Amino acid sequence: MPSGDPSIPHLTPISGIEIGVDVFVAELEKAGSPISEATRQAYESDLRQFARFLHTVVAGPTVTSIEVGAVRAFCNHLQTQGRGPRTLARKLASVRALHRFLQKRDLSSVDPTAGVKLPGMASDSAGLARDDVETLMCLPDESYLGTRDRAILELLYGTGIRLSELLALNLSSVDVEAASIHVIGPRQRTVPLGVHAVSAIRSYLRQRAEALLDRQVEDLDVGALFLSSRGRRLRSRSVQRIVERYLLKLTARDGGAHGPGVLRSAFAEHLTESGADAAGVAALLGTQNATATGTSADPQGLRERYLRAHPRV
C-alpha cells in the first residue's frame, strides 16, 4: 500500500504483523476518520498486545500467516489472565477490524476471527454499556448485507427511532449532507445523525447501488432505504432477527431482551448520562410533543445538544 508519508512503512503480504498494525493505526489517525480517539487508542493497545502474543505461538508472524488457531489461543490466553468476557469481545473486535483492513487491501483472503466464539457472558441487565456499543458496531462484515446491518444498528442507536419508524424510512428520508433523517409516523420529526451513522449509511448506499445494478427495477422496492437480499423493503421480524443476532454475538445471553428496543433504550440512557436534557431526549425519541417542549422553535439548539451529548458523533 503506497503512502505519501515516509514514516508509514510499505505493507505487503510478507510484512510482519507489527507493520500491519502500524499501517492500520496510521489509517485510523488520518483526518476525517469516523473512529474516536478513545476507540483508536483501544484498537492500538489491543493489536499491539495481539502482535506480541503471536510471537509466542507463530514463528515470525506476518500479516497473512495468522490462522484461527492463533486467534483462539490469544483468547484463551486472555481468559487465563482473568480478563472478562466483554474485554475479550472488545479485543476480538480489534483483531477482526485489523483483518477487514487487510482484506480490503487484498492482503488477506480469510478472516481468522470468523471461527472464534467467545464464552457466554452473564449479565443481570439488558442494557448496553458504551464499550458494548463500540464492539457491537464492529461485528457486521463488509459485504452488502453486512454494511446494511451496520447502518441499521448505527441508526437505531444513533437516533433512537422505533422499529416501525426504521422500517418506514425511504431513501428520501435521509439527508447525508445535512447529517439528518426525517422520521415518518405519528411523531414526525427530523433527527440529527452522528459521523458514525453517516459513514455507515454512505457505505451501505454504495454497496446497495452495486448489488441492485443488474436487477429488474419492477422487482425492487427502489424507494425503501433498507432492503432484503431480494430487493424488497425489510419487514419487522427480519430487522428483529438482524439486531438479535448481533446482540447475541456480543453478549451470548440466553435470556433477556435482544431486540431493537435495547438500542433505543441505550440511546436515551447514554444521552441522559452525558447531560442531555430530558425534554430534548423526549423530542428526539418522539415520545413528547416537540412544540410543548419548545424544541421545534430551536432545531439548531436541539442538534447542538445532541452533538455534545451523543457518544457516537
DSSP-derived secondary structure for 1-56: ---S-TTSPP--TTSBHHHHHHHHHHHHTSTT-SS-HHHHHHHHHHHHHHHHHHTT
Query: DSSP letter at 255?
Result: S
Q: What's the rounded Cα separation, in Å, for the pair 44 and 22?
A: 8
Which of 2-11, 119-128, 138-147, 263-272 has the lowest average pLDDT?
Answer: 119-128
pLDDT confidence of residue 288: 58
Residue 133, Cβ neighbours under 10 Å: how many? Answer: 21
Mean pLDDT of 144-151: 96
Q: What's the rounded Cα separation, in Å, for the pair 216 and 23?
A: 42
Q: pLDDT exceeding 70 applies to what percent of the chain?
A: 81
In terms of pLDDT, which residue wins out, 90 or 257?
A: 90
Q: What's the rounded Cα separation, in Å, for the pair 76 and 250?
A: 17
Mean pLDDT of the chain: 81
Q: Return the exposure string of 76-88: e unless at least 16 CB atoms fall within 10 Å of the residue's CB, then b.
A: eebeeeeeebbbb
**pLDDT 10s digits, 155-197:** 999 999 999 999 999 999 999 999 999 998 777 889 999 999 9
The full length of the chain comes to 313
Mean pLDDT of 84-111: 82
| Residue 255: pLDDT over 70 | no
In terms of pLDDT, which residue wins out, 8 or 80?
A: 80
Question: How far, CA to CA in Å, does 263 sit from each of 156, 227, 268, 289?
Answer: 6, 20, 9, 22
Question: How far, CA to CA in Å, does 58 sit from each of 13, 91, 282?
Answer: 16, 19, 53
pLDDT confidence of residue 131: 78
273 Cβ partners below 8 Å, 6+ apart? none
Which of 39-48, 69-78, 158-167, 279-288 has the lowest average pLDDT?
Answer: 279-288
The x, y and z cell numbers of residue 66, run together, are: 495468522
59 Cβ partners below 8 Å, 6+ apart? none
pLDDT confidence of residue 1: 42
**pLDDT 10s digits, 266-295:** 888 888 777 677 777 888 888 754 443 334
Q: How confident is the model at residue 224 (pLDDT cuts 50, 70, 90)?
A: very high
Q: What's the rounded Cα separation, in Å, for the pair 278 and 176?
A: 26
**What's the half-sphere exposure (Cβ side, CA atoms, 13 Å) at 120?**
5
Which of 12-21, 76-85, 211-220, 249-258 has the lowest average pLDDT?
Answer: 249-258
pTM of the model: 0.60
Q: What's the rounded Cα separation, in Å, for the pair 285 and 270?
A: 13
In terms of pLDDT, which residue wins out, 208 or 38?
A: 208
pLDDT confidence of residue 2: 45
pLDDT confidence of residue 253: 45
pLDDT confidence of residue 85: 72
In terms of pLDDT, which residue wins out, 276 or 216?
A: 216
pLDDT confidence of residue 290: 43
In terms of pLDDT, which residue wins out, 169 or 259?
A: 169
